[in-house]
Amino acid sequence: MRRARAKMDEAAVAVVRGKDRERYCKKKEKGEIYSNMGLEQRQIRKLWREKSQKRRDILKMRKRTALLIEENTPPSSPAPAPSTSSSFSRVNVGKAVADRKKRAMKRENITLKTKILQMNQKLKKYRMRIKRLEEKQRKEESNETNQREIEKRTQRRNVKKKQLLTRNKNKKQIRLLNDTLVNLYRPFWVVFRKVSSRNTCLCIIHENDVRDDLCVRALQKANILSYGTASDVAKSLCCQNTFNFKCLERVCKYCQDKQIVHNNYDKDDSITYERWITKYEKIILKSKEKICKKSIKETVKTTNKSLVQLLHSSLPVYMKHKNYLLPFEGLLHIDFSDNYNCKYSAEIQSAHCGGSKSQLSLHSCVYYNTDFQSPDRHLKTTSICTVSENLRHDPVFICVHLQPLLHRIKEISPEITELHILSDGPSTRVKTIIWHYSEKGHGKGAPDGVGGCVNTLCDNSVAMGKDVSSYNGLMKCLKENCKGLEIYGIDDSDVPKIQSILDKSTTKPSRVSMCVHGCIMAAVFNPSLTV
């Protein structure tokens, strides 16, 4: 039928196909053809199982019929023909082909299993290699962490700009040893301590307080505490021994109730510790008796209970690291940095003499503000530096330097209503309405870091072959190389106006600001000011 249809022309094929369609439609109307479109999946599977079972039954019946016929049929006599022992029947050929395919599949399976084993070995090799690399990386990170801890414990960093050492093109900041080489390992950038490298500008309040470890060291020596420094004490009161902002403010719900762990001790036993004091002594000078004021470190003898109470009273102050600024408040920390000496990349000999090279005044400041309330507030900082050719550091020029700063602060914090200005408060320069001065002897602050950054960047630019010989050269150098620092230039146009305002003022400067630590105003009956 298929061959006959293949020989037909297109018209005859179309007629035959039409008859087939009519026949199919009649069978479908009679219900002889079932469609799976309206059936559910479960009914379809049931129908498939029934048809498969029916087909298997038919095949079994055919096989039994063929066996029955073969058993009841007598063997036929051999025909006079040549021997057919070397020939195969169609059934035997099919079996041979199936066996051959089976053997090929078996060989393929063995090959695939071998490849899988080889791939597993390769994966194991690379897995072990990754494991070794991870272990090596962990050891390197651990070594770096240990090195930083050792440097922190055995050395002290020198913060001066020019204290650098270079060896084999490797530049390092000089660090000062805290002990001898008998106990410490010394890299080449760690030098021996000198008498001139002592810190001689410390604050007496912070030195005597727990923040300089004098109290903690005395308690550790008496076996009352197991901590060596005040930082270790603060860490023990925080989660996982880390300085977290909420933990330090004692608002963390997990560690806010932690207390300092003490060893058993007798409260009435005596203990000694050191503190700085200032006292007056009588001396003989040129055969005359005079009173001299001396600052000495004395050894104080007290009880264990008193020293532990001193520790507990001083530690909360130590754990407060930032000011509590509100969104409408701001803090401006200002200070004059060292004047910058202009330089050329290459100079003639006579340029070193006289006033060939000018100086520029640097007024650096750091502005602190926040946008959120506690405890989710995030303190933001803005570093600003104003540059002037005028080297005056008096109140008039301080006002001139503050003018661009105040405009910039208004842009950063448009809703600000209260600005705190923090300064070291020299008698002849800065005075604020509210008492915001750093304590005497506090040394360096954030503005000093801004000034040091400006000086270092300009010196590096000169070392690279560029000239920073004037005001314009310095401004160009800073705008090109210092992207994170805002630079403003200052002119003398507003000086006469501010000078006239100051001349009309009758306020007299205070000459004893170093002896003042706070002001208390009492205005109940008789207004008075206690300093």
Same domain, 433 and 458: yes
> Residues with Cβ < 8 Å from 525, sequence gap 6 or more?
none
209 lies in some domain: yes
Residue 448 in any domain: the answer is yes
Q: What is the DSSP string of 7-67?
A: TS-HHHHHHHHHHHHHHHHHHHHHT-S--SSSS-HHHHHHHHHHHHHHHHHHHHHHHHHHH
Six token digits for residue 389: 């050719």
Distances (CA, A) of 473 to 468, 491, 525: 5, 16, 60
C-alpha–C-alpha distance, residues 309 and 21, integer Å? 107
Query: In terms of domains, do 252 and 335 share one?
Result: no
Per-residue model confidence as pLDDT tens for the chain (531 residues):
677 777 778 888 888 889 989 988 888 888 777 665 656 788 888 889 999 999 999 999 999 898 888 888 776 665 555 555 445 567 788 888 888 999 999 999 999 999 998 898 889 889 999 989 888 888 888 877 777 777 776 777 766 667 788 888 888 888 887 777 656 666 777 777 777 777 777 767 666 654 456 778 888 888 888 887 777 887 888 887 776 767 777 778 888 888 888 888 888 888 888 888 888 888 888 888 888 888 888 888 888 888 888 877 776 665 554 445 677 888 888 888 888 888 888 888 777 776 677 889 899 999 988 876 555 567 788 999 999 988 888 888 888 888 888 899 999 888 888 888 887 765 556 655 565 556 555 556 788 888 888 888 888 888 888 888 888 888 888 888 888 889 898 888 888 888 888 788 776 666 665 566 555 555 544 544 444
Same domain, 299 and 342: no
Q: Is the same domain home to 384 and 282?
A: no
Distance CA(141)–CA(187), nearest Å, equals 19
Same-domain check for residues 342 and 213: no
Residue where a domain terminates, one of 195, 225, 244: 195
**Torsional sign, CA 354, 355, 357, 362:** positive
The whole domain housing 180 covers 154-195
Q: Report yes or no on 62 lying in a domain.
A: no
Domain count for the chain: 3
Claim to verify: residue 164 and residue 278 sit in the same structural domain: no
210 and 339 assigned to the same domain: no
Angle (nearest 5°) at CA 249 between 244 and 255:
70
Give the contacts of 453 (CB within 8 A, at least 6 positions apart).
Answer: 383, 482, 485
Q: Rounded to two decimals, what is the model's pTM?
A: 0.50
Q: Using the structure block, give the residue that is written with the tokens 């007290």.
A: 302
Same domain, 271 and 250: yes
Question: What's the burial of 520, exposed, middle or buried (CB within 10 Å: 0-12/13-18/19+)?
Answer: exposed
**How far is the C-alpha of 101 from the C-alpha of 104, rounded, in Å?**
5
Is the same domain home to 164 and 248?
Answer: no
Here the tokens at position 297 are 């470190």
Query: How many angstroms separate the Cα of 315 from the Cα of each of 46, 215, 234, 319?
Result: 82, 11, 8, 6
H-only helix segments in 155-244: 204-208, 214-221, 230-236
Residue 216 falls within a domain, yes or no?
yes
Contacts for 404 with CB less than 8 Å, ≥ 6 apart? 386, 488, 490
